A and B are shown apart, each in its own frame.
Chain A
């Protein structure tokens, strides 16, 4: 009996975290979609969803309800079992990857000592969702679109993996928690130690999630049906959810590895402790904006909803400020790490997602052969050189005793020089092929 109770206690935190992931992540993905629509509208000089709820805040709920109520159409000749399971594989892979990542020092389903490798591996399993979805649609063009998408994912996975290896060399461990602690010990986020690696990871992660400018397999549903075409209603919503979950996963990996995870900027130095008040101030600012906009809403109920949203932000600001104002050493003060950690992590993830959206609405799409050429002939060689560069920097620092302020910038410049040489060599080759516009 006691063993059972011990067992339950030891798993209740992971269980709660897992439940939160399964329950909250779909809702969060819906709101990321709303954020994307609002950001898209802002960049296109318009407003975006405004009707459903004040400023469109209830739009994701309306969309979810609509998708659930849609008729479930399955193509006649399709393999029904595979048709059913393909979106589930995508969603499961995304959520499973999320479970290994830590949103704050308190929120992690399991701190595996191969955590990072686990996330990358599960991402590889997500490819099956796409391939099987394209296959089960029983359409020649759907299948080709799916295979093309999978080929793109596999190619950029290599580059992303090598970029991760670069940061891994700096951290010396695969465990998520220890990587962030290593950044805390070094007093510097790995993005500054390996900026080339971060750049490679950003580009590769955009291609991994099939986002513009690498979304030809998806947008090619204009020309050749993409893998999602035969899916409608809630099955399509699952694919969409999987795509946004993948975005959150790669943003979380980038935040963990390069942007310091749950660490506050300048986490080590006490001089910047005033930054600890920044979360509450930001939440109060958002609440103030909500109260400012509330009277301007056209309909009474929207005013009330927006006021309620503002009030909830004030509550969050209070929760974030409480550990700072409580007497030191009390239980409330020790909650600071968990709450603030989660806030900083989520803030960085949101900024990374904003970067994704910004790039999507600025750049046109790459053609598929240009995309593959970019991946194989530019990113992969660059990532290999990056790994060698970081290795060189570590040797200089550890074996030869150079300070890391000299070793790392030096190797970064070397890596960039090699990148420049690669880029110009590639551009020269491009000119030869320019007339035909494709590789023979």
Chain B
């Protein structure tokens, strides 16, 4: 990969590159870059021969802020990173701090956490599907996906009062008890959901135009995916069967039976199939979980003031976007010394240059969509 870091030409140097090459800027404000992502493309006519992603437009200094907040105070901040899947962010952080404290959330809390996280995974994938299809030109799946997602957001609102930035979990367990109709609501959502996913597949999977726009686009082989440290559906679609929920189970995942979908070719179509199947598997986990939510306390034995012993911990979870990791260094005070967040979107985005080379400009939107990035996570 000797040519990976070609110094990127600015506009003034365009003539040096040769008569046919132009630099195209997909600016930070763009309907299809899912946030404020700037992509500089070097084009030979219609073909992309080089690219550079410029990020940082949504950088809010979250990791620096963490050094000046207590552990409990920092918990709402993590929701704002991957704002499409806030519950997962909260889960990763709370479990990381619990690991640091040496505490464990009680089983009931872990089960409810699992249910909410899997619902959030479905919601995140639904949003991804709607916007990805919209970028490629299918105008209708977006509305169907948002209709389903609305049900999940209603459940979240009933549970913790918020739809998007939920702050659902607390360090040591949960603050709110599961409300009375939680099981009924989840069941009412999950039961017809399989047919809904079939509905989306009927619109897209067999469609010649969809297949033509996604098959063979943005191929990432298994070796390349591992080399780029890709994770989540991006990694699994390339054929690598690695899911943290199975490899290093957390919350209550070891209690339930589910499959890990993997792809074959690592192209956009495979990533689409993997995420669709993941939605179905999440539904199965939810159905298994609500059958038997154990009774018990929802908050573990952590004190009111959290002062973890000095040390460090790295804890990662399988967020909808990939491996979301928290590396927390504690110096014994109530505020962490350092919180480093491993953003799956950013690390998956590194593979963008490899995936886009040789494709046409019209494929750029498809590939950005298939990586499923959220700029809040990329920039933090």
Q: A222-B365, A367-B213, A435-B219 are in contact. Are A44 and B139 (CB under 8 A)?
A: yes
In the complex, chain A residues 362-416 whose Cβ is within 8 Å of any chain B Cβ: 362-370
Question: Is the C-beta of B258 less than 8 angstroms from some C-beta in chain A?
Answer: no
Question: Is the C-beta of B56 less than 8 angstroms from some C-beta in chain A?
Answer: no
Residue of A nearest to B203 (CB): A362
* Cβ contact within 8 Å between B140 and A43: yes
Q: A45-B144, A434-B215 are in contact. Are A363 and B359 (CB under 8 A)?
A: no
* Cβ contact within 8 Å between A437 and B31: no
* Cβ contact within 8 Å between B362 and A223: yes
* Chain A residue contacts of B362, Cβ below 8 A: 216, 220, 223, 367-368
Question: Is the C-beta of B353 less than 8 angstroms from some C-beta in chain A?
Answer: no
* Chain B residue contacts of A367, Cβ below 8 A: 212-213, 360, 362-363
Measured CA separation A150–B215 after assembly (Å): 28
* Cβ contact within 8 Å between A361 and B140: yes
Binds A, one of B115-123, B130-138, B180-188, B319-327: B130-138
In the complex, chain B residues 17-76 whose Cβ is within 8 Å of any chain A Cβ: 24, 26, 30-32, 46-47
Measured CA separation A163–B26 after assembly (Å): 40
In the assembled complex, the CB of A19 is this many whole angstroms from the nearest CB of chain B, namely 37
| A residues in contact (CB < 8 Å) with B | 40, 43-46, 212-213, 215-216, 219-220, 222-224, 360-370, 430, 434-438
Q: Which of B26, B207, B360 has the most CB of A within 10 A?
A: B360
Q: Which of A212, A367, A430, A436 has the most CB of B within 10 A?
A: A367
Measured CA separation A438–B363 after assembly (Å): 10
Question: Is the C-beta of B147 less than 8 angstroms from some C-beta in chain A?
Answer: yes
Residue of B nearest to A46 (CB): B143
* Chain B residue contacts of A45, Cβ below 8 A: 143-144, 147
* Chain A residue contacts of B361, Cβ below 8 A: 223-224
* Cβ contact within 8 Å between A40 and B139: yes
* Cβ contact within 8 Å between A213 and B359: no
Residue of B nearest to A367 (CB): B362
In the complex, chain B residues 234-265 whose Cβ is within 8 Å of any chain A Cβ: none
Question: Is the C-beta of B216 less than 8 angstroms from some C-beta in chain A?
Answer: yes
Q: A45-B144, A364-B136 are in contact. Are A437 and B209 (CB under 8 A)?
A: no
Chain B, interface residues (CB within 8 Å), range? 35 or more
* Binary contact track B207-221/A, C-beta < 8 Å → 1, others 0: 101101101110100
* Cβ contact within 8 Å between A213 and B216: no
Q: A44-B139, A435-B216, A435-B219 are in contact. Are A364 and B210 (CB under 8 A)?
A: yes
* Cβ contact within 8 Å between B140 and A365: no
Measured CA separation A224–B362 after assembly (Å): 10
In the assembled complex, the CB of B56 is this many whole angstroms from the nearest CB of chain A, namely 22
Question: Is the C-beta of B300 less than 8 angstroms from some C-beta in chain A?
Answer: no
* Cβ contact within 8 Å between B143 and A44: yes
In the assembled complex, the CB of A426 is this many whole angstroms from the nearest CB of chain B, namely 11
Question: Is the C-beta of B364 less than 8 angstroms from some C-beta in chain A?
Answer: yes
In the assembled complex, the CB of A107 is this many whole angstroms from the nearest CB of chain B, namely 35
Measured CA separation A46–B146 after assembly (Å): 11
* Cβ contact within 8 Å between B217 and A360: no
* Cβ contact within 8 Å between B144 and A364: no
* Cβ contact within 8 Å between B137 and A219: yes
Measured CA separation A223–B366 after assembly (Å): 12
* Cβ contact within 8 Å between B217 and A213: no
Within the complex, which residue of B47, B137, B358, B359 is in contact with A365, where a contact is CB–CB below 8 Å? B137
* Cβ contact within 8 Å between A370 and B212: yes
In the assembled complex, the CB of B184 is this many whole angstroms from the nearest CB of chain A, namely 24
* Chain B residue contacts of A222, Cβ below 8 A: 30-32, 135, 365
* Cβ contact within 8 Å between A436 and B137: no
Measured CA separation A366–B210 after assembly (Å): 8
* Cβ contact within 8 Å between A363 and B364: no
* Chain B residue contacts of A43, Cβ below 8 A: 140
Measured CA separation A220–B30 after assembly (Å): 12
Measured CA separation A435–B142 after assembly (Å): 28
Q: Which 6 A-B pairs have the closest CB atoms?
A: A365-B137, A44-B143, A364-B137, A364-B138, A434-B216, A364-B136
Measured CA separation A9–B144 after assembly (Å): 58
Measured CA separation A273–B26 after assembly (Å): 61
Measured CA separation A420–B53 after assembly (Å): 44
In the assembled complex, the CB of B109 is this many whole angstroms from the nearest CB of chain A, namely 36
Measured CA separation A212–B209 after assembly (Å): 11
In the assembled complex, the CB of A233 is this many whole angstroms from the nearest CB of chain B, namely 22
Q: A361-B140, A437-B217 are in contact. Are A369 and B209 (CB under 8 A)?
A: no
* Chain A residue contacts of B136, Cβ below 8 A: 364-365
* Cβ contact within 8 Å between A364 and B207: yes
Measured CA separation A365–B361 after assembly (Å): 14
Query: What are 9 sample pairs from A and B whose C-beta atoms fall under 8 A apart?
Result: A220-B362, A222-B365, A223-B32, A223-B362, A366-B209, A366-B212, A368-B46, A370-B209, A435-B216
* Binary contact track B189-219/A, C-beta < 8 Å → 1, others 0: 0000000000000011001011011011101
* Cβ contact within 8 Å between A360 and B360: no
* Cβ contact within 8 Å between A361 and B139: yes
In the assembled complex, the CB of B195 is this many whole angstroms from the nearest CB of chain A, namely 15
* Cβ contact within 8 Å between B139 and A360: yes
Q: A44-B143, A46-B143 are in contact. Are A437 and B365 (CB under 8 A)?
A: no
